[in-house]
């Protein structure tokens, strides 16, 4: 009489794994994780701009607040002191949170740092109204076609760019940056 398959004796599985194979596999996984974490992951950092350590792209933009309207600010004329650029728009909620922080920095550091607001992706009138209502103490310029923002790789607002006294980009941050963190980034650039 033949037995149904379910009643057939079960074959024993013999372990053929080498104990060293487990260590080799674990080691390879660890090396792969280290390579990913140390080499590849930093390349995905949204705050790591290819502009850092490069010459800041020059621009000449029209003043719309805190200066002679219609005059232009040329970035290359600001060399000799650190420059903080704040890319913003009047319709941007996080920009409205960033503006008072940047204003505190402008007031605190006075003539030791050039602070310039760069309104981009906006219309002139709402930008002027916002800057006036926020009582920004620093000059703001108008980037009507977004060319300057594009030159700095700005895709998110607000974006802060910190440039040293020689015109080299030292930081690009696309998020709201708190006052203490901004001061910590700025302090090493002061004489």
For the chain, give every domain's residue range.
Answer: 17-46, 60-189
The predicted structure's pLDDT at residue 41? 43
**Cβ–Cβ < 8 Å for 159, 47:** no
**Edge-to-edge order in the sheet of strand 60-65:** 72-74, 60-65, 140-143, 114-120, 83-88, 159-163, 169-173
Clarify whether 92 is annotated catalytic. yes
The Cα-based distances of 108 to 40, 105, 130, 153, 179 in angstroms read 39, 5, 21, 28, 11
The residue from 56, 75, 84, 92 that is catalytic is 92
Whether pLDDT at 151 is above 80: yes
Residue 89 has pLDDT above 50, yes or no: yes
| pLDDT over threshold 70, residue 42 | no
Q: Which of 61, 73, 83, 95 is catalytic?
A: 95
Using 50, 70 and 90 to split pLDDT, how confident is the model at 86? Answer: very high
Reading the block at residue 34, the tokens are: 């280290």
Instruction: Say what the pLDDT of residue 49 is.
Output: 79
Closest CA to 83 of 50, 135, 118, 48: 118
**pLDDT computed for residue 11 by the predictor:** 53
Are 161 and 87 in contact by the 8 Å Cβ rule? The answer is: yes
Using an 8 Å Cβ cutoff, are 106 and 113 in contact? yes
Q: Are 182 and 101 in contact (CB under 8 A)?
A: yes
Calculate ∠ Cα 175-186-47, nearest 5°.
30
Using the predicted structure, report yes or no on whether residue 27 has a pLDDT greater than 80.
Answer: no
Peptide bond into 151 cis (omega under 30): no
- The CA angle 129-133-138, to the nearest 5 degrees, is 90
Residue 140 annotated among the catalytic residues of the structure: no
pLDDT at 158: 97
pLDDT, position 148 = 98
Across 76-104, average pLDDT: 97
Calculate the alpha carbon distances from 18 to 11, 14, 25, 30 in Å.
Answer: 21, 12, 11, 19
Which comes out higher in pLDDT, residue 94 or 13? Answer: 94
Of residues 30 and 176, which shows the higher confidence score? 176
The domain 60-189: what is its CATH number?
A: 3.40.30.10
Q: How many CA atoms lie within 13 A of 6 on its CB side?
A: 0
């Amino acid at each position: 009489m033949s037995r149904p398959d379910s009643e057939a004796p079960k074959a024993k599985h013999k372990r053929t794994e080498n104990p060293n194979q487990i260590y080799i596999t674990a080691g390879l996984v660890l090396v792969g994780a280290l390579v990913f974490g140390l080499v590849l992951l930093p390349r995905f950092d949204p705050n790591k701009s290819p502009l850092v350590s490069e010459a800041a792209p020059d621009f000449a933009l029209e003043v719309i607040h805190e200066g002679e309207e219609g005059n232009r600010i040329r970035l290359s004329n600001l060399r000799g002191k650190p420059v903080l650029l704040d890319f913003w728009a009047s319709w941007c909620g996080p920009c409205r949170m960033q503006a008072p922080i940047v204003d505190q920095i402008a007031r605190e550091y006075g003539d030791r740092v050039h602070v310039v607001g760069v309104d981009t992706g906006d219309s002139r009138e709402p930008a002027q109204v916002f800057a006036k209502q926020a009582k920004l103490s620093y000059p703001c310029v108008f980037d009507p076609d977004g060319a300057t923002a594009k030159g700095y790789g700005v895709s998110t607002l607000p974006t802060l760019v910190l440039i040293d006294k020689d015109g080299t980009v030292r930081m690009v941050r696309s998020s709201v940056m708190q006052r203490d963190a901004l001061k910590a980034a700025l302090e090493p650039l002061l004489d």
